């Protein structure tokens, strides 16, 4: 029987080990930073979620004082009707925003995928809203939605005679959509579907549509043009080419956009807090209120983990879809 | 390769150093005041929404630095809504991020109870106490101790458009709450304005202030002397019924439900509304031709009380004080800055900006010349009601905001809203 060489005597294995070390050396700083700024705070927040935790200053030194409370923080939310209302409202914001962003994103991407003069410039300009900071975007839309005649949108509609001189619209009014319609009004009230939240979806979409459109555009450009040529030869019209070629081949990128945007939308805070304060209690606003306004850091951590769990469930659904896609 | 490994070790060491420093941060010691050739920088947290402007505060800081060459002031200006969170975060650090903070009176109990700020009783003099109205000092007292020195004498006033009133056939502002209501009805019926009244009734702290103020106009409070909620009866209930009625009858602008204080002021100074009950910052804006359409017609007045209420006015306080963080390591210098910024001498130089906290300045000829409305201010101030001083005030406030807002949105009745408030606030106590 041939005796195996010791690993140290094999030049190939030695190179392999040396490459592994080099790779490890490259990865370690990033790993350590991740541990420091992600993993340790995450574990600490998880610990806090099982505690009653508040900030106090004793003897000139500030800090967080904790007292173990078991599952009480989680049960507080899970048994609260307000929490489930927040879940429904956040889900509406997420699902409605996603639908609008995807439909408009595909239309914009299809347009930008066509040859036309100045296409490069339009593509560059498209990214501008994405570059606007969220807070600035919220303030800007606050001025646009101002409910009096001097509000930008009301002023525009009055100038165009689409609104009478005495008429103004309170776009951000927290009243349920179709509130006077039987059943439908009750459903919108139950879901937290208000006029204010719906207009906020418009404001948020204006900012995030460019990135969705650009991601989809990248997906469109990877579709071989031969497929369209062949389809044309076979007599497929534009709708059939879109439905039978573009959409199926865009599915992987659509799923990526869905995962990415769901995570962002479900954690929404800035734009809603700035425009509506606590009027629309999406989960992000409730988390902020519990932690930094009430000073209940244990409850704040617990609801943050519940949000994480809900996002994980949604992401899991998407990942299964992606798996299914790959198997097909 | 060696370089990468070296970087690796460096990262490990840095991580270890950070973790060790986090575990073993020493208790901050109180630094002595610096000598002239040393520079100590105080970090001060202020708001840039109302009160003294950034320019005025920077001017004060330069003046202070000239008198105290070793001490500089580094301001952080945030919106009012961000103040509380910044202070809590600063308190959570072993050494404070901010040495001096602007303390809204509603946080007195919370910050005193949790030890965020130091008591100032031993540092104030009898002369100072004698020249500041007890109502102002009282706002910053919790458990018998003073936690902040009064800085801004902020309170709500009635601001109105005299031209609108004259066009409706009135000579001046209302003397009673009932007269105010009658004027609003007349203004609407005559088509002078669509909505005569605008207020800041979005779901924020301002809504609680407006509710407390309306209750004061009915001669009462939302809480009794022992801090127990009583808004389901008397003035509290009548106040909410009145607010709701103004919306139901379209006398109050429904946009109020999504409007904050600056937004409500804009409706007044644009000429869209006749009345706005708001904080003192409105006066400067409504008289500024660059911002206001109603400069000639803009007036300040008393907040009228209901018939049968003995007080000539009823309003809500929004006093703000300066406090020293308990985990600051520059407490002596911080107190020196507070003494300077709140002094009568400094406030006297900025009477155009703010109504002074000092009684001697409020009644001075200089103030009367600068602010012809000082008499109204003084009467309103003397009849200011405070929001409750309870350690868990943010939660109490959130309950009031939610129930009052739901009532004004016509989801629940005033009776249901007030009963719900009492029940939920009592449940918090348990």
The interface residues of chain B toward chain A in range 237-256, judged by CB-CB distance below 8 A, are 254-255
Write down the pLDDT at residue A9.
55
Distance (Å, rounded) from C-alpha B143 to C-alpha B156?
Answer: 27
Q: What is this structure's pTM? A: 0.83
Distance (Å, rounded) from C-alpha B346 to C-alpha B339?
Answer: 10
Closest-CA distance, A60 to chain B, in angstroms, reads 4
| Reported ipTM exceeds the 0.85 cut | no
**Among B78, B92, B201, B266, the residue to mutate for chain A (most A Cβ within 10 A):** B92
Closest-CA distance, B35 to chain A, in angstroms, reads 24
Q: Say which residue the tokens 């909620």 belong to.
A: B229
| pLDDT tens-digit readout, A251-286 | 889 988 988 899 899 999 999 999 988 989 999 999
The interface residues of chain B toward chain A in range 60-89, judged by CB-CB distance below 8 A, are 81, 84-85, 88-89
HEC string of chain A equals: CCCCCCHHHCHHHHHHHHHHHHHHHHHHHHHHHHHHHHHHHHHHHHHHCCEEEEEEEECCEEEEEEEECCCHHHHHHHCCHHHHHHHHHHHHHHHHHHHHHHHHHHHHHHHHCCCCCCHHHHHHHHCHHHHCCHHHHHHHHHHHCCCCCCCHHHHHHHHCCCCCCCCCCCCCCCCECCCCCCCHHHHHHHHCCEHHHHHHHHHHHHHHHHHHHHHHHHHHHCCCHHHHHHHHHCCCCHHHHHHHHHHHHHHHHHHHHHHHHHHHHHCCCHHHHHHHCCCCCCHHHHHHHHHHHCCCHHHHHHHHHHHHHHHHHHHHHHHHHHHHHHHC
Residues of chain A contacting residue B18, judged by C-beta atoms under 8 Å apart:
36
Give the containing element (helix H, strand E) for B300: strand B298-301
In sign, the C-alpha dihedral spanning A141, A143, A146, A149 is: negative
Query: What is the Cα A35 distance to its own chain's centre?
Result: 24
Write down the pLDDT at residue A261.
92
| Mean of per-residue pLDDT scores for chain B | 88
**pLDDT grade for B52, boundaries at 50, 70 and 90:** confident
A28 touches chain B (CB under 8 A): yes
Write down the pLDDT at residue B27.
40
Sheet arrangement for strand B298-301: B197-198, B275-278, B157-161, B298-301
What mean pLDDT do residues B68-83 have? 88
Within this chain, domains B9-154+318-383 and B157-316+392-427 share the same CATH topology: yes
Write down the pLDDT at residue B49.
67
pLDDT score of B1 more than 50:
no
Contact check, Cβ <8 Å, B116/A57? yes
pLDDT score of B50 more than 80:
no
**pLDDT grade for B134, boundaries at 50, 70 and 90:** confident
Contact check, Cβ <8 Å, B204/A278? yes
Q: Which residue of B has its CA nearest to A18?
A: B1
B226 touches B306 (CB < 8 A): no
Fold of B157-316+392-427: D-Maltodextrin-Binding Protein; domain 2 (3.40.190)
Closest-CA distance, A94 to chain B, in angstroms, reads 23
Residues of chain A contacting residue B93, judged by C-beta atoms under 8 Å apart:
62
Instruction: Name the region of B52 (left: φ>0; alpha: ψ -120 to 50; beta: rest).
Output: beta
Contact check, Cβ <8 Å, A279/B203? yes
pLDDT score of A26 more than 60:
yes
Contact check, Cβ <8 Å, A61/B89? no
B185 touches chain A (CB under 8 A): no
Q: State the DSSP code for B176.
A: B
B319 touches B152 (CB < 8 A): yes
Q: Say which residue the tokens 């992401």 belong to.
A: A315
| pLDDT tens-digit readout, A39-51 | 999 999 999 999 9
pLDDT score of B25 more than 60:
no
**Nearest residue, CB atoms, A294 vs list B94, B258, B395:** B395
pLDDT score of B31 more than 80:
no
For A54, counting Cβ atoms within 10 Å of its Cβ (0-12 exposed, 13-18 middle, 19+ buried), the class is middle
| pLDDT tens-digit readout, B141-177 | 999 999 999 998 889 999 999 999 999 999 999 999 9
Closest-CA distance, A101 to chain B, in angstroms, reads 26
A64 touches chain B (CB under 8 A): yes
Which residues, in sequence order, are CB contacts of A107 under 8 Å at separation 6+? none
B8 touches chain A (CB under 8 A): yes
pLDDT score of A322 more than 90:
no
Distance (Å, rounded) from C-alpha B285 to C-alpha B292?
Answer: 7
**Nearest residue, CB atoms, A55 vs list B12, B88, B204:** B88
Q: Specify the range with the lowest mean pLDDT, choosing from A2-6, A259-263, B81-85, B416-420.
A: A2-6
Q: Specify the range with the lowest mean pLDDT, choosing from A39-48, B128-137, B242-251.
A: B128-137
HEC string of B341-373 equals: HHCHHHHHCCCCCCCCCEHHHHCCHHHHHHCCC
What mean pLDDT do residues B14-35 have? 44
Write down the pLDDT at residue A328.
65
A22 touches chain B (CB under 8 A): yes
Q: In Å, what is the CA distance from B241 to each residue of A56, A100, B198, B306, B412?
A: 40, 41, 17, 13, 11
Which residues, in sequence order, are CB contacts of A229 under 8 Å at separation 6+? none
**Nearest residue, CB atoms, B115 vs list A56, A146, A175:** A56
Distance (Å, rounded) from C-alpha A286 to C-alpha A303?
Answer: 8
| Mean of per-residue pLDDT scores for chain A | 89
pLDDT score of A53 more than 70:
yes
| pLDDT tens-digit readout, B268-277 | 999 999 999 9
Contact check, Cβ <8 Å, B255/A170? yes
A305 touches A43 (CB < 8 A): no
**pLDDT grade for A14, boundaries at 50, 70 and 90:** low
Q: In Å, what is the CA distance from B237 to each residue of A185, B77, B240, B310?
A: 29, 38, 5, 19
Give the containing element (helix H, strand E) for B111: helix B108-114
Distance (Å, rounded) from C-alpha B401 to C-alpha A276?
Answer: 13
A313 touches chain B (CB under 8 A): no
Write down the pLDDT at residue A105.
95
- Dig out the tokens for B285 from the structure: 């804006």
Which residues, in sequence order, are CB contacts of A52 under 8 Å at separation 6+? A66, A67, A68, A69, A72, A73, A296, A298
B200 touches chain A (CB under 8 A): no
Distance (Å, rounded) from C-alpha B52 to C-alpha A217?
Answer: 51
pLDDT score of A116 more than 80:
yes
Q: In Å, what is the CA distance from B11 to each residue of A41, A43, B16, B353?
A: 19, 21, 9, 52
B268 touches B162 (CB < 8 A): no
- Dig out the tokens for A148 from the structure: 């009096």
B103 touches B318 (CB < 8 A): no
Q: Specify the range with the lowest mean pLDDT, choosing from A176-185, A201-210, B205-214, B322-331.
A: A176-185
Contact check, Cβ <8 Å, B398/A54? no
Most confident of A11-15, B109-113, B360-364: B109-113
**pLDDT grade for B14, boundaries at 50, 70 and 90:** very low
Written out in words, the top-level CATH class of the domain with range B9-154+318-383 is alpha beta
**Nearest residue, CB atoms, A26 vs list B4, B91, B254:** B4
Distance (Å, rounded) from C-alpha B211 to C-alpha B209?
Answer: 5
Instruction: Name the region of A156 (left: φ>0; alpha: ψ -120 to 50; beta: rest).
Output: alpha
Query: What is the Cα B356 distance to its own chain's centre?
Result: 15
Contact check, Cβ <8 Å, A278/B8? no
A35 touches chain B (CB under 8 A): yes
Please report, for chain B, the start and end positions of each structural domain, with discontinuous segments joined by +.
9-154+318-383, 157-316+392-427
The domain A80-327 having CATH identifier 1.10.3720.10: the answer here is yes
B130 touches chain A (CB under 8 A): no
B361 touches B348 (CB < 8 A): yes
A60 touches chain B (CB under 8 A): yes
Which residues, in sequence order, are CB contacts of A219 under 8 Å at separation 6+? A109, A249, A250, A252, A253, A254
Q: Say which residue the tokens 């000829």 belong to.
A: B365
The interface residues of chain B toward chain A in range 202-221, judged by CB-CB distance below 8 A, are 202-204
Closest of B159, B248, B164, B154 to residue B198, by C-alpha: B159
Residues of chain A contacting residue B91, judged by C-beta atoms under 8 Å apart:
55-57, 62
Write down the pLDDT at residue B80.
83
Coil/strand/helix, residue B160: strand
Query: What is the Cα B313 distance to its own chain's centre?
Result: 19
B363 touches B382 (CB < 8 A): no
B257 touches chain A (CB under 8 A): yes
Distance (Å, rounded) from C-alpha A56 to C-alpha B14?
Answer: 29
Write down the pLDDT at residue A179.
85
Write down the pLDDT at residue A314.
87
B279 touches B156 (CB < 8 A): yes
- Dig out the tokens for B418 from the structure: 């007030």
| pLDDT tens-digit readout, B200-232 | 999 999 999 999 999 999 999 999 988 899 999
pLDDT score of B317 more than 80:
yes
Residue B82: phi and psi, rounded to 5, are: -95, -10
Write down the pLDDT at residue B38.
57
Distance (Å, rounded) from C-alpha B363 to C-alpha B354?
Answer: 14
Closest of B30, B17, B11 to residue B329, by C-alpha: B30
What mean pLDDT do residues A63-70 have? 92
Contact check, Cβ <8 Å, A148/B267? yes
Which has more pLDDT, B292 or B370? B292
B112-138 residues labelled b (16+ CB within 10 A) or e (exposed): bebbbbbbbeeeeeeebeeebbebbbe
**Nearest residue, CB atoms, A173 vs list B115, B258, B395:** B258
B7 touches chain A (CB under 8 A): yes
Contact check, Cβ <8 Å, B11/A56? no
Coil/strand/helix, residue B190: coil
Coil/strand/helix, residue B315: strand
| pLDDT tens-digit readout, A168-190 | 899 999 999 998 888 898 999 99
Contact check, Cβ <8 Å, A292/B89? yes
B70 touches B38 (CB < 8 A): yes
Which has more pLDDT, B295 or B55? B295
Q: In Å, what is the CA distance from A245 to each residue of A91, A226, A326, B146?
A: 31, 11, 17, 74
Q: Which residue of B has its CA nearest to A143?
A: B263
Distance (Å, rounded) from C-alpha A280 to C-alpha B218?
Answer: 31
Contact check, Cβ <8 Å, A55/B92? yes
**pLDDT grade for B5, boundaries at 50, 70 and 90:** very low
Residues of chain B contacting residue A190, judged by C-beta atoms under 8 Å apart:
none
Partners of residue B325 on adjacent β-strands: B117
Which residues, in sequence order, are CB contacts of B245 under 8 Å at separation 6+? B251
Which residues, in sequence order, are CB contacts of B19 under 8 Å at separation 6+? A36
Closest-CA distance, A282 to chain B, in angstroms, reads 14
Closest-CA distance, B18 to chain A, in angstroms, reads 9
Distance (Å, rounded) from C-alpha B322 to C-alpha B44?
Answer: 9
B332 touches chain A (CB under 8 A): no
Q: Specify the range with the lowest mean pLDDT, choosing from A163-167, B17-21, B353-357.
A: B17-21
**pLDDT grade for A11, boundaries at 50, 70 and 90:** low
Residues of chain B contacting residue A29, judged by C-beta atoms under 8 Å apart:
7-8, 11
Q: Report the percent of chain A where pLDDT is more than 90.
A: 65
């Amino acid at each position: 029987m041939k005796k195996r060489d010791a690993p140290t005597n094999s030049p190939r294995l030695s190179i392999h080990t040396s490459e592994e070390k080099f790779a490890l050396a490259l990865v370690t700083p990033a790993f350590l930073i991740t541990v420091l700024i992600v993993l340790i705070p995450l574990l600490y927040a998880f610990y806090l979620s099982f505690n009653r935790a508040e900030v106090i200053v004793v003897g000139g030194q500030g800090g967080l004082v904790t007292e173990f409370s078991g599952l009480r923080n989680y049960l507080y939310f899970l048994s609260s009707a307000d929490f489930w209302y927040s879940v429904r409202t956040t889900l509406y914001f997420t699902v409605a925003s996603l639908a609008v962003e995807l439909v408009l994103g595909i239309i914009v991407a299809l347009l930008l995928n066509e040859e036309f003069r100045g296409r490069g410039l339009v593509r560059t300009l498209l990214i501008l809203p994405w570059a606007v900071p969220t807070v600035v975007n919220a303030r800007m839309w606050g001025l646009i939605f101002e409910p009096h005649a001097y509000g930008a949108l009301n002023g525009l509609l009055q100038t165009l005679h689409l609104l009478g001189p005495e008429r103004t619209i309170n776009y951000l009014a927290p009243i349920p959509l179709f509130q006077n319609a039987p059943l439908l009004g009750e459903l919108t009230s139950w879901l937290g579907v208000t006029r204010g939240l719906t207009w906020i979806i418009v404001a948020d979409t204006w900012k995030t549509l460019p990135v969705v459109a650009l991601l989809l555009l990248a997906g469109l450009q990877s579709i071989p043009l031969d497929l369209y040529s062949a389809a044309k030869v076979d007599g497929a019209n534009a709708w059939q080419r879109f439905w039978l070629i573009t959409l199926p081949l865009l599915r992987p990128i659509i799923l990526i956009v869905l995962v990415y945007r769901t995570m962002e939308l479900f954690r929404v805070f800035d734009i809603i807090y700035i425009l509506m304060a606590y009027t629309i209690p999406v989960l992000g606003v409730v988390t902020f209120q519990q932690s930094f306004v009430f000073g209940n850091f244990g409850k704040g951590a617990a609801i943050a983990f519940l949000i994480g769990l809900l996002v994980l469930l949604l992401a899991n659904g998407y990942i299964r879809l992606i798996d299914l896609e790959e198997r097909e | 390769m060696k370089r990468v490994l070296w970087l690796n070790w460096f990262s490990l060491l840095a991580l270890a150093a950070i973790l060790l420093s986090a575990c073993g941060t020493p208790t901050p010691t109180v630094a002595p005041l610096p000598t002239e050739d040393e520079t100590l920088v105080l970090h001060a947290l202020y708001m840039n929404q109302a009160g003294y402007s950034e320019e005025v505060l920077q001017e004060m800081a330069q003046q202070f630095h000239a008198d105290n060459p070793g001490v500089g002031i580094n301001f952080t200006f945030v919106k009012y809504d961000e103040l509380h969170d910044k202070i809590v975060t600063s308190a959570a650090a072993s050494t404070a991020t901010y040495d001096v903070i602007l303390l809204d009176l509603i946080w007195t109990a919370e910050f005193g109870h949790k030890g965020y700020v130091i008591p100032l009783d031993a540092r104030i003099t009898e002369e100072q106490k004698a020249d500041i109205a007890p109502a102002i000092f009282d706002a910053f007292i919790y458990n018998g101790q003073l936690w902040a020195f009064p800085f801004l004498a902020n309170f709500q006033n009635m601001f109105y458009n005299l031209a609108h009133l004259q066009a409706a056939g009135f000579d001046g502002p209302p003397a009673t709450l009932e007269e105010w209501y009658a004027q609003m009805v007349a203004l609407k019926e005559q088509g002078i304005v669509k909505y005569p009244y605008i207020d800041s009734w979005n779901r924020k702290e301002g809504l609680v202030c407006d509710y407390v103020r309306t209750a004061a106009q009915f001669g009462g409070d939302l809480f009794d002397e022992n801090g127990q909620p009583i808004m389901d009866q008397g003035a509290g209930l009548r106040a909410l019924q009145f607010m709701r009625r103004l919306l139901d009858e379209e006398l109050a602008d429904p946009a109020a439900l999504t409007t904050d204080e600056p937004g409500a002021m804009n409706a007044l100074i644009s000429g869209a509304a006749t009345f706005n009950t708001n904080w003192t910052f409105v006066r400067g804006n409504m008289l500024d031709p660059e911002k206001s359409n109603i400069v000639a017609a803009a007036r300040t007045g008393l907040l009228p009380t209901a018939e049968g209420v003995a007080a000539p006015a009823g309003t809500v306080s929004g006093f703000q004080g300066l406090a020293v963080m308990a985990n600051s390591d520059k407490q002596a210098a911080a107190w020196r800055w507070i003494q300077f910024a709140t002094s009568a001498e400094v406030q006297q130089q900025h009477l155009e900006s703010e109504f002074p906290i000092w009684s001697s300045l409020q009644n001075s000829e200089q103030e009367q010349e600068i602010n012809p409305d000082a008499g109204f201010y003084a009467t309103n101030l003397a009849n200011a009601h405070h929001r409750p001083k309870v350690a868990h005030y943010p939660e109490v406030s959130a309950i009031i905001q939610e129930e009052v807002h739901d009532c004004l949105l016509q989801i629940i009745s005033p009776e249901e809203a007030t009963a719900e408030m009492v029940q939920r606030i009592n449940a918090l106590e348990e």
